[in-house]
Amino acid sequence: MKTIDLRSDTITVPDEGMRKAMYDAEVGDDVYGEDVTVNELQDLASSLTGKQASLFISSGSMGNLIPQFIIPERGSEVIAHRDSHIFHYELSSMAAVAGLMPRPVDGKDGKLTLESVKNAMRPEIYYMPKTGLIEIENTHNAAGGTFYTTEELKALHGFSLSIDVPIHMDGARVFNASATSGVSVKDIASCCETITFCLSKGLGAPAGSMLCGTAEFIAEAKRVRKMFGGGMRQIGILAAAGIYALKNNVSKLEADHIHARMIADAIRKSEILTLVNENISTNIVYFTAAEGCSLKTAAEKFHENGILISGDSSVFRIVTHLDVSQEDIERVCRFIENLKIY
Ligand SMILES: Cc1ncc(COP(=O)(O)O)c(C=O)c1O
């Protein structure tokens, strides 16, 4: 029985075309700025996001930490939704490395609202912390892949400009946001000063993220990347996978979204499982077991049937991605609809 791995969209492996692009890549020493493939990827990221410059970095976490390190004054606050990846899954790096204070706020579906941000503003009293950065996660992982509408982004950006606090977008999955909304990544990114996006999630590259912003910011980001030990040499091999991903895999994201909705429909039909995020707009589905039904047993049943899911003692997560086919998804749906564990 084939194992269907739905734990995350990070588990994809490079396909033949991507491996060939990696094999053929022209490389050089990127610390000297001499890797032409890295330079090509950085130019491509700048044109896709509409930003002046871009930097190839190791991960989404680094893409969030570098702006946190550069932009706000030490001791200032970072406003973000309380369920943000930066607060829960990045080892408190904003405090440990960047000297910043988390300012978690509420918001609907993992999204900041104008009201939530306005309410988090401190009075200008000298002994109170300043707001140094507003962070937007788009799509939002813990809320089930929700995305910001253009109106929501514009409202937040208008306000941030009026108070002179930059917005950083954790766009680890911003191409999913773009695919589902029909709004270009460039238009989405026009509502933030800096943006990071991942090549190694839904886009299917083996490693790497991009950080994009003004030329001045990226010049400093390059210094900080080196300071964090992230200056690498002949990484055109990885950059080639990123270029391949951006050129070939963006158009495949919508299939992941359709697959996630198929799984959500199967969960709706199940007497055992209950959806947590009712609206499935991208590729993440959270669900739980109905009352009286053991979550542990439900998880075991998935695993016994060759379906890997992630989750803790209260909630499960399924993330659809490039390496699962329509046929795989149909098998998962049949399994969910027929699941009996009482
Ligand atoms: C929304 C979001 N931001 C950032 C990251 C961090 O990415 P990485 O694992 O590449 O550090 C993730 C990883 O899952 C994520 O989901």
Could you tell me if 310 and 317 are in contact, meaning their C-beta atoms sit under 8 angstroms apart? yes
| Ligand 1 in reach of 170 Cβ (< 6 A) | yes
Which DSSP category does 251 fall into?
Answer: G
| Cut 0.75: pTM above it | yes
Q: Measure 60 CA to ligand 1 centroid, in angstroms.
A: 5
Give 10-residue mean pLDDT values along the chain (342 residues). Answer: 96 98 98 98 98 98 98 98 98 98 96 97 95 98 97 98 98 98 98 98 98 98 98 98 98 98 97 92 94 77 94 89 97 94 62
Per-position b or e across 183-222, b if 16+ CB within 10 A of its CB? bebeebbbbbbbbbbbbbbbbbbbbbbbbbbeeebbebbb
Residue 22 has which token pair?
A: 């990696």
CA–CA separation, 307 and 300 (whole Å) = 10
Q: Measure 278 CA to ligand 1 centroid, in angstroms.
A: 23
Q: What is the pLDDT of residue 300?
A: 86
Q: What is the pLDDT of residue 83?
A: 97
Q: What is the pLDDT of residue 159?
A: 98
**Ordered structural domains, the chain, with CATH:** 16-249 (3.40.640.10), 252-338 (3.90.1150.10)
Q: Measure 172 CA to ligand 1 centroid, in angstroms.
A: 6
Q: What is the pLDDT of residue 114?
A: 97
Pairing of strands 310-311, 316-319: antiparallel
* Closest-lying ligand 1 atom to the alpha carbon of residue 209: 10
Ligand 1 atom 16: residue of nearest CA:
141
Q: What is the pLDDT of residue 342?
A: 56
Could you tell me if 174 and 48 are in contact, meaning their C-beta atoms sit under 8 angstroms apart? no
* Closest-lying ligand 1 atom to the alpha carbon of residue 139: 1
Residue 287 neighbours by CB under 8 Å, 6+ apart? 267, 273, 274, 275, 276, 315, 316, 318
> CA 256 from chain center: how many Å?
15
Measured CA distances, 269 to 262, 263, 305 (Å): 11, 10, 19
- Which of 255, 289, 293 is closest to 275 using CA atoms? 289
Burial class of residue 335, CB neighbours in 10 A (0-12, 13-18, 19+): middle
Q: What is the pLDDT of residue 117?
A: 98
In the Cβ-directed half-sphere of 261, how many Cα atoms lie within 13 Å? Answer: 11
What DSSP assignment string belongs to 75-106? T-EEEEETT-HHHHSSTTHHHHTT--EEEEE-
| Ligand 1 in reach of 198 Cβ (< 6 A) | yes
CA–CA separation, 296 and 298 (whole Å) = 5
CA–CA separation, 99 and 69 (whole Å) = 8
| Ligand 1 in reach of 85 Cβ (< 6 A) | yes
Could you tell me if 208 and 230 are in contact, meaning their C-beta atoms sit under 8 angstroms apart? no
Residue 245 has which token pair?
A: 């991903």
Ligand 1 atom 5: residue of nearest CA:
60
> CA 314 from chain center: how many Å?
23
